């Protein structure tokens, strides 16, 4: 079964077959990888859907080694924000701490977009690759566009499933 990652422009970026997986094209330091949070469990641990988003972001980060990574999400549970949990997950799997930028105040997709735009401005990033769940992607694209963020691409966990199987970390759930 093949999976396809599609850029926001509608151009097919990656066609993946189980026998031959290919990485998406690499991005540079002007493009941020923005991974959107997802509500934590009451004890502060991550839900499987958030871990899936992180795996997709991880694959993009492996390819685009010069791109900064922004993890966005507040909504603390047990004293832990979504962004903190996400950053810890990435760093525990070898992402350099200085590459992972936390946006911990957002309580909604609108705030994810607005606050991530501020972080991008600080970093000098001119566009973003959004990582979120497939059902959430249309709303996220519209919201980030309304916040003035140029979206150069998007990935969802299901689009990168085969890449994650081949190249991603074997994360515990």
Look at residue 94 in the predicted model and tell me its pLDDT.
Answer: 95
**What is the band of 37 on the pLDDT scale with cuts at 50, 70, 90?**
very high
Q: Which residue has the tokens 């105040």?
A: 105
**What is the band of 86 on the pLDDT scale with cuts at 50, 70, 90?**
very high
Angle (CA) 75 81 87, round 5°: 140
Please write the tens of the pLDDT for every residue from 99-116.
999 999 999 999 999 999
Q: Which residue has the tokens 């026998």?
A: 19
Q: Kindly tell me the sign of the dihedral angle through the C-alpha atoms of 149, 152, 154, 160.
A: negative
Look at residue 119 in the predicted model and tell me its pLDDT.
Answer: 98
Report how far residue 95's alpha carbon sits from residue 84's, in angstroms, rounded to the nearest whole number.
14
């Amino acid at each position: 079964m093949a999976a396809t990652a599609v850029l926001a422009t509608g151009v097919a970026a990656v066609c993946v077959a189980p026998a031959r997986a290919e990485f998406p094209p690499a991005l540079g330091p002007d493009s941020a990888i923005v991974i959107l949070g997802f509500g934590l469990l009451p004890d502060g641990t991550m839900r499987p859907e958030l871990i899936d988003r992180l795996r997709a972001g991880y694959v993009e980060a492996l390819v685009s080694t010069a791109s900064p990574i922004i993890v966005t999400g507040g909504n603390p549970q047990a004293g832990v924000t979504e962004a903190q949990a996400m950053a810890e997950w990435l760093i525990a799997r070898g992402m350099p701490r200085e590459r992972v930028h936390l946006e911990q105040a957002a309580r909604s997709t609108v705030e994810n977009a607005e606050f991530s735009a501020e972080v991008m401005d600080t970093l000098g990033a001119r566009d973003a690759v959004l990582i979120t769940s497939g059902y959430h992607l249309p709303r996220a694209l519209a919201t980030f566009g309304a916040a003035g963020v140029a979206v150069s691409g998007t990935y969802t966990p299901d689009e990168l499933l085969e890449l994650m199987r081949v190249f991603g970390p074997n994360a515990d759930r």
